[in-house]
């Protein structure tokens, strides 16, 4: 029935069914203000997990600070225990080492910190802002899924770019600053690029080698 109700109603359903066992993740990416606003309207004090790799754009840190203050977010920031400089000394620049390097990088900097957050917060369910329109890897997702014994809920999965634009305008919310410099998806500075002519949006991440960092796949 979740496919037949609104995004806000899906969030309400998640709140009613999982109560204090519910978390949300955010990357403070291009359109993150939509989910952050919509979810905190329904669940003001929900724990929001932000994975800080140490390689984010300066604009992302500024955007995160602004939204955290404006929306009064209950933010939990997690990072790898291995500092970026230590990683580079030990492994080199993993993001330049093909698919295997990227997978290792993502495990160290994203997956392991998220696993820790889930355990610390005793989460049973997880709200995330994935949309089918974003990539081939997401077009067959369901609004309700299971991942690593967690229930995943994607309230805006069926939204298109027009829905996103309208919500941001209606609620006077900002895009990420790099949107105005041609970025359609933003992660780490070394693995994100602006969208150029004849370029697929998916190719703007990880040099087109992959789309998913692994957070939304089975660990």
Catalytic site residues?
213
Residue whose token pair is 């805006």: 156
| Residue positions counted in the chain | 219
Burial of 86 (0-12, 13-18, 19+ CB in 10 A): exposed
* Token representation of residue 18: 């999982």
| Spatial distance between the Cα atoms of 187 and 30, rounded to a whole number of angstroms | 9
The secondary element (H helix, E strand) that includes residue 151 is: strand 150-153
DSSP β-bridge partners for residue 126: 23, 152
């Amino acid at each position: 029935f979740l496919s037949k109700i609104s995004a806000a109603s899906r969030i309400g359903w998640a709140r009613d069914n999982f109560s204090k066992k519910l978390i949300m993740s955010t990357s403070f990416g291009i359109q993150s203000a939509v989910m952050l606003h919509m979810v905190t309207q329904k669940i003001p004090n929900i724990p929001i997990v932000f994975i800080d790799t140490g390689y984010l754009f300066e604009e992302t840190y500024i955007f995160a600070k602004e939204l955290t203050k404006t929306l009064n977010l209950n933010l939990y920031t997690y990072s790898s225990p291995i500092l970026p400089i230590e990683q580079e000394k030990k492994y080199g620049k993993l993001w330049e080492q093909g698919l295997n390097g990227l997978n290792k990088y993502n495990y160290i900097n994203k997956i392991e910190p998220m696993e820790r957050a889930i355990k610390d917060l005793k989460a049973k369910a997880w709200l995330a802002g994935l949309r089918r329109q974003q990539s081939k890897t997401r077009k067959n997702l369901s609004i309700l899924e299971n991942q690593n014994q967690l229930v995943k809920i994607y309230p805006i999965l069926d939204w298109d770019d027009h829905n996103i634009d309208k919500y941001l305008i209606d609620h006077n919310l900002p895009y990420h600053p790099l949107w105005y410099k041609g970025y359609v998806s933003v992660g780490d500075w070394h693995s994100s690029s602006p969208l150029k002519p004849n370029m697929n949006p998916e190719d703007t991440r990880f040099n087109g080698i992959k789309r998913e960092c692994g957070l939304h796949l089975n660990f």
